[in-house]
Copies of this chain bind each other. A is one copy, B any other.
Amino acid sequence: MRLSRYFLPVLKENPSEAQIVSHRLMLRAGMIKQSAAGIYSWLPLGFKVLRKIETIVHEEQQRAGHIPMLMPTLQSADLWKESGRFDAYGPEMLRIKDRQDRDMLYGPTNEEMITDIFRSHVGSYKDLPMTLYHIQWKFRDEVRPRFGVMRGREFLMKDGYTFDLTKEDALHAYNRHLVTYLRSYERMGLQAIPMRADSGPIGGDDTHEFLVLAETGESEVFYDSQITELKFGDREIDYDSVDQCQAVMEEFTSRYARTDETHDAALFAEVPAERQRSARGIEVGQIFYFGTKYSEPMGATVQGPDGKPVPVHMGSHGIGVSRLLGAIIEASHDDKGIIWPEGVTPFHVGIVNLKQGDDQADAACDALYASLQALGLDPLYDDTKERAGGKFATMDLIGLPWRITVGPRGLKNGVVELTSRRTGESEEMTPEAAVEKIAEIYRGIA
């Protein structure tokens, strides 16, 4: 994309309404615009990152055999009356009357609807196991929306639902989800630690939250420092293998890691003192096993091997897709702006032309731009008349992890400058070498 043809309304001043750094930087980088309290438009740069995160989530879910679908945003209240949650949910549920005066609501989650789909179409244990998921906008009418997309009212969530014949099978689905979540977060450049959690209004026995460590996190967390050394990495895993998924679960949850809601001071004291840590964390996902909590009242049964009806064991598993943008920025920024991890960066590399209008510089930039695109890469070329300082400030603010700087002086020597946003280090090299290096960095990512 050429910046002169893009819509990137960066702000020079810090917006007064933003209390935390991700909210401030998303506004300043022209990623979002508030349209009502807790409701945002995703401007082009923000939308691009949102789509990248969504794509990673889709890919990792489907790699595990989970099936994508899409449920609507508005729901009839009938199903929620059946489960008993219509009255129980409280004022965070946005209740709506349509023109026929029917009770509707903007879905805050989809347990009832998916259970209804399941019971309408699935009749036999032979159809299990099954995991259906979707990525859809949700609404929770927070009394005090704040922190930008971190606590918005309209937000994008991935929610997946598992259906199994037995508790053992359902716990395998739970473990399998834990693995997919670890992979997803790592691809986004995040370390998200699974912590034992409270089940809240969804209900359930087993549940873990995934927390990203960041000073601005809403939760206080306590953990054994060994946990931050764990990496899922690029290990191969067979998602059908109960043992393999179980082993990952144990590896990542056997050390102490809890939020203030479940913190147990006596247990924590057993962690060697030099490994005890307390910090703040941002919740970016949660997995639940809740057994037959919905299948029993809603009659979601299958015919078991003996011909008798069995209520299915269920779980639900969520990732806060829109919230992740805020979490990534909280975890990865400096005083100049955002620093995108390569896995989610809106553009792979920025090209800064130090002397727009200079024939040689323009030609070199055009050639770089074309070479990068030919390799399937997505560069942002600042081809405006802005002075160099302004161009650098914008690139730093929007956080592209790599920048190629092109100017007449370097070109005389046949070189351009490649700069890492994270380290600030620059290296001179030929344009061809810069293209090759960028291609190498994104091999297996882009």
Contacts and interface: CB of A to CB of B under 8 A. Distances in A.
Given A5-B65, A98-B141, A137-B137, A75 B44 contact: no
Given A44-B69, A50-B70, A71-B41, A120 B35 contact: no
Contacts of A127: 7
Contacts of A67: 6-7, 44
17 contacts: A7-B132, A9-B120, A9-B121, A35-B71, A36-B76, A39-B72, A41-B71, A43-B69, A43-B117, A44-B132, A47-B70, A47-B134, A50-B70, A74-B153, A92-B99, A96-B96, A98-B153
A42 interface: yes
Contacts of A104: 36
Interface in A13-67: 30, 33, 35-37, 39-44, 46-48, 50, 65, 67
A241 interface: no
B41 A72 contact: yes
B50 A122 contact: no
A262 interface: no
A38 to B, nearest CB: 9
A154 interface: yes
A76 B7 CA distance: 24
A178 to B, nearest CB: 20
Contacts of A100: 37
Contact of A47 (B33, B65, B69, B154): B69
A113 interface: yes
A273 interface: no
Which of A7, A91, A141, A154 has its CB near the most chain B CB atoms (within 10 A)?
A7
A89 to B, nearest CB: 12
Contacts of A75: 35-36, 39
A316 B73 CA distance: 24
Contacts of A153: 74, 98
A35 B80 CA distance: 12
Contacts of A364: none
Contacts of A92: 99
Interface in A111-152: 113, 116-117, 120-122, 127, 130, 132, 134, 137, 139, 141, 143
A46 B98 CA distance: 26
A158 to B, nearest CB: 14
A35 B98 contact: no
Contact of A41 (B65, B117, B139): B117
A294 interface: no
Contacts of A288: none
Contacts of A121: 7, 9, 30, 33
B41 A73 contact: no
B74 A139 contact: yes
A94 interface: yes
A222 interface: no
A50 B47 CA distance: 19
A276 to B, nearest CB: 41
A35 B67 CA distance: 19
Contacts of A305: none
A252 interface: no
Given A41-B72, A47-B69, A73-B154, A99 B143 contact: yes
A357 interface: no
A84 interface: no
